[in-house]
Amino acid sequence: MLLTLAWGSLFFPGLFALCTWTLRRSRPEWTNSDCLMISTRLVSSVQAVLATGSGIVIMRSCSDVVNGRHWLAREYVWFLIPYMIYDSYAMYLSEWYRTRDQDHGHSTTFRNFLSQNRLMIAHHAVILFVLVPVAQLKQQHTLLYKVNGILTLATFFSCRILLFPFMYWSYGQQQGLSLLQVPFNIPFFCNVANAFLIAPQIYWFCLLCRKAARLFDTPQAKKDG
């Protein structure tokens, strides 16, 4: 755990510094802001590849999608903590170099940075202060964990399942059709493609519901069952 945390604390800032130094040497015509921006995106791409690779390894190693456990899932969370902290600082550093010619102080630059990157900062903060404690401190029976589970279900259902009827409804509003008429007034392959897309979403949502149901099973209910 601590070794993974230390490794991540060295890896991401070190890779960022290496990318920035290489770009400054190979592209002297680029500004500092350009070099920092590209370096930030390169490091983010590396992190995305590592996260995707870890996910593939975990999925291929766990046959039980509900109860399966893998050491990499636990360790990668600790590897992710320094990345989130580094990435927040790197984004701010890029913003400061980009606007420093405008004679803005750090306080003004910081306020502008927060204003322009609200969603990204919120994303990083939620991962650091909500998802990491939930994943590492075994708080499955706390109120925070249950609230997080409910929000996950609601978000998944709204963004991954309701999206499809919403698209049909929007098209119907534009063409003067009811929701039930839309499937019969669009190309057949569109319905087939949407069916292929929504099928795994419904499957994953069912798995999430099963997981959530287990969280709210009381000891007495389990005993009676």
> What residues contact residue 192 under an 8 Å CB cut-off, 6+ apart?
none
> What residues contact residue 36 under an 8 Å CB cut-off, 6+ apart?
20, 90, 93, 94, 97
* Residue 51 pLDDT > 50: yes
The model's pLDDT over 108-140, given as tens digits with 9 standing for 90+, comes to 777 777 777 777 777 777 777 766 666 665 556
Does pTM top 0.75 for this prediction? Answer: no
The model's pLDDT over 194-211, given as tens digits with 9 standing for 90+, comes to 998 888 889 888 888 887
Question: Contact at 8 Å (CB) between 154 and 216?
Answer: no
> What residues contact residue 97 under an 8 Å CB cut-off, 6+ apart?
31, 32, 33, 36
And the tokens for 11?
A: 């890896």
Residue that wins the pLDDT comparison between 29 and 124: 29
Question: Contact at 8 Å (CB) between 99 and 109?
Answer: yes
Question: Contact at 8 Å (CB) between 20 and 35?
Answer: yes
